[in-house]
Amino acid sequence: MSIPTPHIECNDSNIIAKTVLMPGDPLRAKFIADTYLEDVVQFNHVRNMFGFTGTYKGKRISVMGSGMGMPSIGIYSFELYKFYGVENIIRIGSCGAYTNDLKLYDVILVDEAWSQSTYAKVQNGYDKDVIEANPEINDRIAKHAEELNIPIVRGRIHSSDVFYADDPNSYKSYRDNHGCIAAEMESFALFANAKVLGKKAACLLTVSDSIVTHEETTSEERQNAFTKMMEIALEFAE
């Protein structure tokens, strides 16, 4: 396989920066490019999975949607790492809180993802249910958050294949037996790809809803308003 790939039309890998910020929502990627970046080039339109490169405070960074779920981020992150020479992917996603301590708009820095997914086993034979984020990137994220005076909560999250669980109480077992503080749907596959390809991955999440209290944000807020995690991650421009 070479570039362009089946899912990314860019035919010059130099156009994509070494660090890519990756929200699930391609319109969140567009919001970041429109709001924060200068000299923006759009490098992907395929399937409307928009990807952009620009400068932030004069330094280069890319941002691209991953779509929802592990198969989707599995494809995009693999192609970026393997065929476009990307070194770091920082997912910037939304999540549902599993604990009463987490409030809407709180920012989580994921230390590790727990999952029942077979993604890593099928992709490369990894048969454990936890994968860590890159500790070096996480230390840098924590430092940037502190410098920006943005509080973060660190912990293990549940990377789930299911958004609508049949049993409304199933989250209690993920929280109490597996130590997960929130749910999202991509980071386990992202971390698996980074691990097998010798690359780096991390994940920042904003609490979009509470599975405990049922408070929730709107789709518009999920697209445009989760700016604190964006501003932390943008500090990786280089």
Q: Is 68 in the site for ligand R1P (CB under 6 A)?
A: yes
23 touches, from ligand URA, ligand R1P, none (C-beta below 5 to 8 Å by class): ligand R1P
Query: Smaller CB distance to ligand URA: residue 5 or 206?
Result: 206
Contact yes or no for 31/229 (Cβ under 8 A): no
Which of these ranges, 18-26, 102-110, 148-156, 230-238, lies near ligand R1P under the rule CB under 6 A?
Answer: 18-26
For 213, the 3-state DSSP assignment is coil
Query: Smaller CB distance to ligand R1P: residue 71 or 143?
Result: 71
Contact map string, positions 175 to 204, toward ligand R1P, x by CB under 6 A: ---------xxx------------------
Contact yes or no for 48/223 (Cβ under 8 A): no
Q: Residue 209's CB: how many other CB atoms inside 10 A? A: 18
209 touches, from ligand R1P, ligand URA, none (C-beta below 5 to 8 Å by class): ligand URA
Contact yes or no for 65/26 (Cβ under 8 A): yes
Q: Residue 71's CB: how many other CB atoms inside 10 A? A: 13
Q: Is 209 in the site for ligand URA (CB under 6 A)?
A: yes
Residues in CB range of 56: below 8 A, 6 or more apart: 36, 37, 38, 234, 237
The question of whether 209 is a catalytic residue gets the answer: yes
H or E element at residue 29: helix 26-36
Q: Is 138 in the site for ligand R1P (CB under 6 A)?
A: no
Which of these ranges, 17-25, 34-42, 79-87, 140-148, lies near ligand R1P under the rule CB under 6 A?
Answer: 17-25
Q: Is 185 in the site for ligand URA (CB under 6 A)?
A: yes
The distance of Cα 41 from the centroid of its chain, to the nearest Å, equals 21
H or E element at residue 33: helix 26-36
Active-site positions read 209
